[in-house]
Chain A
Amino acid sequence: MNETARYRLVLLLLALAALVLFLLSLVTGPAAIGFADGMKALFSGEAAEMTLIMREIRLPRAILGLAVGATLGLSGAVLQGYLRNPLAEPGLLGVSASASLGAVLAIYTGLSAAFALALPLFALIGAVIAVVVVRAMAGSGTSTLTIILAGVAVTAFAGAMTSLALNLSPNPFAALEIVFWMLGSLTDRSMVHVWLALPFMLVGWVMLAMTGRALDALTLGADAASSLGIDMKRVRFLAIFGTAASVGAATAVTGAIGFVGLVVPHILRPLVGSVPSRLLPASALGGAIMLLSADILVRVIAPERDLKLGVLTALVGAPFFLWLVWRARRTMV
């Protein structure tokens, strides 16, 4: 089997898995609705309350699981390729935490209630600031350490400001919601959230996808890429704003979910032959698979506890991260 055929097969299998998990997500929930009944209610709209549950509660949850997962997987793959850093990922670089801060400011000041688009826009601004700061800290070098340290600092700062903003809210429930913004959840998200976030995510995906060819060239180094006719300014613009738009919008409606963007590209890289442009669609599908699985698991393991998604992704992601650090030790210092 040649390289291209294998790549197509991998994509096909990933897409199938994502589709199956999407359907599973639709039929997972506290109200015991059978698969056939659920699908009938979803499409026909005959059984009033079942249709309400399928269309307004489970469908937005499944769509967001798919789209947010794809966002995190794709942006992780692009950031790892663009920064040429195996540890790059929106969560570790502080992009998710900063987007959370932006969203928190928009929601808890009451701004997003008056002007709905303020939510994704503020999250996007938070995300842009994080990417720009981390990129500036990294400079022209490709030192793994500087970027991750800058990411740690940005994450800590944004997290502290998020806590502060929530603690200062006159609403007594606000302070308890720190956990949502740090760990993320898809519980009871509605179509309103889908319409708010999906357009920004789509724009972000297109921008990230356009970096594919440049990322292939970048494997040879920044100078070689420039000499191959790659416009580095354009790549930087696409990578930064594509990440900010998609991760910002995703975080605005689900909170910060870590490690998806780290784990997925690493697992899929060997399967697609280590070509960055091929890794992008595979990582998007892989991210969707990981997040949909996590969201199904939180509903199966402890349905009454409202477990946060970040708990599950960290259970898989944190040991993986440690293993990466272990492996990268030799090259880091």
Chain B
Amino acid sequence: MKLAGRCGLLCALICLCLEATAARAETDRPHRVVSMNVCTDQLAMLIADEGQLYSVSHLASDPLSSVMAQEARAFAVNHGQAEEIFLMKPDLVMAGTYTTRATVELLRRLGFRVEEFAPASSFEAIKGDIERIGALLGREERAAELVAELDDGLARLAALAPSGKIAASYSSNSYTTGAGTLADNVMKAAGVKNMGAEQGILGGARLPLEMLIVAQPDMVVRGTSDYGRPALAQENFVHPAFRAFAEERTVNVPENYWICGAPFTLEAAYILRQAAESKP
């Protein structure tokens, strides 16, 4: 009994010492990170070390917006509300620059460290975000790995000759994307011309169905979003004129690939490239 007790005590002491050394190396890096934006959620899941990320937003587990819905189940869920995040006692909060302004201000006043990320609209910005999160989490090596993979994929696409095909993105409520958007840069990477950008559209704009038909793009790029319940916003996809025109030209790119800029955004470029090559 006595011996066993001593052994146990000794073990415990050794363990404590080991933990202390390990902890010292990691004290300056955050170990209870909360992300409240679906884009930082996914980058954090890709970059963070085991046990470093504590909570992701509820959208991270929604397969319509998040590519990593499966992985997100392993983390606590937050809804981007200050009170909820306060109780999680994070040592680093990551947020988007757009949606949760008031919450971010409040969290800062409560003394939390909040890092904000603007939505990435180019592959350069994606790389920048990956490196920034790598530095914040003390995971520079992992970040460099992801950036190198992304560069690899982009280089492979750039090596191909431009397809010469014109694509128009057409989403709910007849919106199309023009220059300066992530979708535009993804199309460029895929060697496809973006009809919206060619027509001088900046950002997003409504493209009347008539104008889509008149412009005669080779490909009509739409998402595969199905929200379970209908809305008028998606009626443009069942309009007889749209169906007659776009039947042969539709390319489905799951929207979660390019809602957020991340390494997996390359997938959208691959899908577009493949479609461009298969269209006559």
Interface set of A (CB-CB < 8 Å, partner B): 29-31, 49, 52-53, 56-58, 107-110, 112-113, 169-174, 176-177, 180, 188, 190-192, 303-304, 306
The smallest C-beta distance from B250 to any residue of chain A, in angstroms, reads 16
Query: What is the number of residues of chain B that contact chain A, defined by CB distance less than 8 Å?
Result: 27
Q: Is B241 an interface residue (CB 8 A)?
A: yes
Bound-complex Cα distance A112 to B238 (A): 13
Bound-complex Cα distance A190 to B237 (A): 12
- Asked if A171 and B230 make an inter-chain contact with CB atoms under 8 angstroms apart, the answer reads yes
> Chain B: interface secondary structure?
helix
- Asked if A173 and B211 make an inter-chain contact with CB atoms under 8 angstroms apart, the answer reads no
The smallest C-beta distance from A320 to any residue of chain B, in angstroms, reads 30
CB neighbours of A176 from chain B (8 A): 233
- Asked if A110 and B230 make an inter-chain contact with CB atoms under 8 angstroms apart, the answer reads yes
The smallest C-beta distance from B169 to any residue of chain A, in angstroms, reads 16
Bound-complex Cα distance A168 to B234 (A): 17
The digit string for B205-221, where 1 denotes a CB below 8 A from any CB of A, is: 11011110110100000
- Asked if A53 and B214 make an inter-chain contact with CB atoms under 8 angstroms apart, the answer reads yes
Beyond A31-B213, A49-B214, whether A174 also contacts B241 by CB under 8 A is no
Bound-complex Cα distance A173 to B235 (A): 11
Mark out the residues of chain B between 151 and 195 whose CB falls within 8 Å of any chain A CB in the assembled complex: 172-174
The smallest C-beta distance from B222 to any residue of chain A, in angstroms, reads 14
CB neighbours of B235 from chain A (8 A): 188
Q: Is B231 an interface residue (CB 8 A)?
A: yes
Bound-complex Cα distance A52 to B210 (A): 9
Q: Is B227 an interface residue (CB 8 A)?
A: yes
A-B contacts, 15 of them at CB < 8 A, read: A31-B210, A31-B213, A49-B213, A49-B245, A109-B229, A110-B229, A112-B230, A171-B229, A173-B227, A173-B232, A174-B233, A177-B232, A188-B235, A190-B241, A304-B206
CB neighbours of A30 from chain B (8 A): 208, 210-211
Residue from B172, B206, B230, B244 within 8 A of A52 (CB atoms): B244
The smallest C-beta distance from A61 to any residue of chain B, in angstroms, reads 10
- Nearest chain-A residue to B234 (Cβ)? A173
Residue from A177, A191, A303 within 8 A of B240 (CB atoms): A191
- Asked if B229 and A188 make an inter-chain contact with CB atoms under 8 angstroms apart, the answer reads no
- Nearest chain-A residue to B227 (Cβ)? A171
- Asked if B231 and A173 make an inter-chain contact with CB atoms under 8 angstroms apart, the answer reads yes
- Asked if A170 and B229 make an inter-chain contact with CB atoms under 8 angstroms apart, the answer reads yes
Beyond A31-B213, A49-B216, A52-B213, whether A171 also contacts B231 by CB under 8 A is yes
- Asked if A180 and B211 make an inter-chain contact with CB atoms under 8 angstroms apart, the answer reads no
- Nearest chain-B residue to A107 (Cβ)? B230
- Nearest chain-B residue to A53 (Cβ)? B210
